[in-house]
Structure 1
Amino acid sequence: MTAPLLRVQGLRKGYGKHVVLDSVDLDAAEHSCTALIGASGSGKSTLLRCIDLLEVVDDGVVELDGQDITDPRVDADEVRSRIGIVFQAFNLFPHLSVLDNVTLAPRKVHKRPRDEAEHDALQLLDRVGLRDKAGAKPDQLSGGQQQRVAIARALANRPRLMLFDEITSALDPELVGEVLALVRELQQDGMTMLLATHEMGFAREVADRVAFLEAGRVCEIGPPDQVFGDPQRPETRRFLRRIIEAGRL
């Protein structure tokens, strides 16, 4: 049996007395898409930040390609070069062009020659439909375009794993579709992804597995049709009932 690309075991994270993640276990097979669902404050974003080593975990282990990346001796920058993360806020550098935003890490961190980095970046911008915006500044783009640039920037390091943290939450409703279409393409291309989202219909469509989090725990995990259509836990049923009543599923 092939080992998962990502394995999270017994992950705990708290701030003072407030426990945000409470013994989380989660695996992700290579080329799979796992959607993280749950109410705000359930721990989805913190889980992604711990996987990307943006937060120091209190206990537990995160393994990527069989390597314990939570070992304090690990080079966090090297690990992050294998993980792409995209946030709900686009986090683009406003003073840099789109092309320079995408090439910054390959050039500065990975020391790739400018012409090589720019060649690859233009191919990525082609992929996200924004090659013609290579010379633009972020404030000249729509929110959906900025988020697609942020995805291109995350892909520029050729990551093994992509993390998406509520990437449509800051977008106007009419711009959500163009970003989700790009994520759908990545899923079809076999990119391994963890996707924290409030877009339940999208999670049901693209995910191989759905993990429902509540109070920092993974309460239920399984195929989308099972989690959404036949949830086993009362906490999952309560959450989905609220979602359905709000017209979001």
Structure 2
Amino acid sequence: MNVLSVTGLVKEYGGKRVLDGVDLEVAEGEVVALIGASGSGKSTLLRCVNLLEDIDDGQVFLLGRDVSDPRVDPDLARRDMGVVFQAYNLFPHMTVLDNITLAPRVVHGVPPAEATATAMDLLTRVGLADRATAYPDRLSGGQQQRVALARALAYDPKLLLLDEITSALDPELVGEVLALVREIAAAGRTILMATHEMGFARQVADRICFLDGGRVVESGPAAQVLGNPEQPRTREFLRRVIDAGRLQDPRPDRGGRV
């Protein structure tokens, strides 16, 4: 069963097509990674799926329901989606615990005691139970992003959207967040994520979609797309990513070469 189906999705800004007829499906329990250069449409696609952007054409089906229909209440549709952005977007005037319990209590009507118990269980899973009463400005970037992930999972969404969630982190904090996403994926959560971490995408994703110019240029199993891509544009993008990584991290590889 497909949790998400996107057909012919078009999004324009100022007459420029940012998404140009995107087709995409995500099956239940599947992890799909969106890769591509900056400006290729990855974040816009996630925002359209989450109904944070109006679409100009096409449809978005969530659990078989056309949530892009103008008659659909987007707030109701979002109840089945959890989203974590590049910025942590935690409420600075609320404690960690209050940030996590807010949506379950106010939007989903979960009793406070139940919402608190769920939040504490999630904080334990992300290794931050001892920071429940802390405010966001007392946490590191990696800790804040882990809280954001816990908040997104608090109402057990059917689809988890992750938008370059490590891009704002210092390099030494990236690992702890990726390890948590790896754990979430292993538990069978349905995930659509935009990422620039190719190694992570290879390890976690069932399928890779390469976007270029607002279109899905290539889609397939992670090992195939990242290891032996069929399209020349995909090969060119991956070569540039690999070359850029070598320039940024010129450490010897396992064979002793630089």
The bucket for the TM-score relative to the shorter chain is over 0.9
Q: For this pair of structures, how many residues does the alignment match?
A: 247
CA distance in 2, matches of 1:97, 1:245: 42
Q: Give the residue type in structure 2 aligned to 1:135.
A: T
| 1:145-164 alpha-carbon deviations (Å, 9 max, x no partner) | 00000000011111000000
Q: Does 1:122 pair with 2:124?
A: no
Partner in structure 1 of residue 136 of structure 2: 138
Could you tell me how far 1:198 is from its partner in structure 2? 0.5
Q: Does 1:21 pair with 2:24?
A: no
Partner in structure 2 of residue 32 of structure 1: 30
CA distance in 2, matches of 1:163, 1:241: 27
Q: Give the residue type in structure 2 aligned to 1:239.
A: F
Could you tell me how far 1:109 is from its partner in structure 2? 1.1
CA distance in 2, matches of 1:59, 1:100: 38
CA distance in 1, matches of 2:106, 2:121: 19
CA distance in 1, matches of 2:32, 2:135: 33
CA distance in 1, matches of 2:96, 2:127: 12
TM superposition outliers: structure 1 runs of 4+ over 4 Å: none
CA distance in 2, matches of 1:113, 1:30: 28
CA distance in 2, matches of 1:152, 1:128: 7
CA distance in 2, matches of 1:89, 1:120: 24
Partner in structure 1 of residue 181 of structure 2: 183
Could you tell me how far 1:247 is from its partner in structure 2? 2.1
CA distance in 2, matches of 1:100, 1:247: 39
Q: Secondary structure at the match of 2:6?
A: strand
What percentage of residue pairs aligned between the two structures are identical? 66
Q: Does 1:206 pair with 2:190?
A: no
CA distance in 1, matches of 2:97, 2:74: 26
5+ unaligned residues in a row in structure 1: which ranges?
none
Q: Secondary structure at the match of 1:93?
A: coil
Partner in structure 1 of residue 167 of structure 2: 169
Q: Normalised by the size of structure 1, how large is the TM-score?
A: 0.97
| 1:167-211 alpha-carbon deviations (Å, 9 max, x no partner) | 000000000000000100011000000110000000011100000
CA distance in 1, matches of 2:49, 2:181: 20
Partner in structure 2 of residue 229 of structure 1: 227
Partner in structure 2 of residue 220 of structure 1: 218
CA distance in 2, matches of 1:139, 1:230: 44
CA distance in 1, matches of 2:228, 2:89: 38
Spell out the pairing of 1:70-89 with structure 2 (5 A cutoff): 70-89=68-87
CA distance in 2, matches of 1:202, 1:118: 32
- Of 56, 59, 71, the residue aligned with 1:58 is 56
- Of 9, 12, 18, the residue aligned with 1:11 is 9
Q: Normalised by the size of structure 2, how large is the TM-score?
A: 0.94
- RMSD (CA atoms): 1.0
Q: Give the residue type in structure 2 aligned to 1:66.
A: G
Q: Secondary structure at the match of 1:238?
A: helix
Q: Secondary structure at the match of 1:21?
A: strand
